[in-house]
Amino acid sequence: MQPFTLNYARPAVQLEVISPYAYDSGLQLNVFPDGRIAATDHATLRALGTTTSTAGSKTHFDD
């Protein structure tokens, strides 16, 4: 029998987002191909939702 709480479950939204930036181990920051630092581009971060409180994370449940 299914636990009561799971009656309220819904399929997790699996967003396959390809980040337009990559980690630079020298800077210890994520940067765009043109060298700009990702953390300063709030418009892109908002669009990707990468800094947002989420649900359904596989690795971190307390966000």
Partner 1 sequence: MTVLILTSDEDVTADMVVLRLHETGAPVVRLDPADLTSGVALSGEYIQGVYRGHVSVGGRLVSVNGLRSIWVRRPGVAAARAAQPTTWLTEESSQALYGMLRGTDARWMNHPDAARRARHKPWQLRLAQRSGLPVPATLITTFPQAAREFAERFPDLVVKPVSGAHPQEPPRAVPTSRVAPDTDFAAVAFGPTLLQRRVAKRADIRLTAVGDRLLAARKAVAPDADPNDVDVRFAPSTSTWAPVDVPPRVGAAVLTYLKEAELAYGAFDFAEDGDGIWWFLECNQSGQFGFVEMDTEQPIAHSIAEWLAHGAEPGRTYVNGARRATS
| Residues of this chain that bind partner 1 (CB under 8 A) | 1-14, 19, 21, 23, 25-26, 28-30, 37-40, 42, 45-46, 50-63
Report the alpha-carbon distance of residue 9 to residue 3 in Å, rounded.
11
Q: How far is the CB of 22 from partner 1 (least distance, A)?
A: 8
In terms of Cβ atoms closer than 10 Å to its own Cβ (0-12, 13-18, 19+), residue 57 is: exposed
Please identify, using beta-carbon distances, which residue of 33 and 55 lies nearer to partner 1.
55
Report the alpha-carbon distance of residue 29 to residue 40 in Å, rounded.
11
Please identify, using beta-carbon distances, which residue of 1 and 35 lies nearer to partner 1.
1
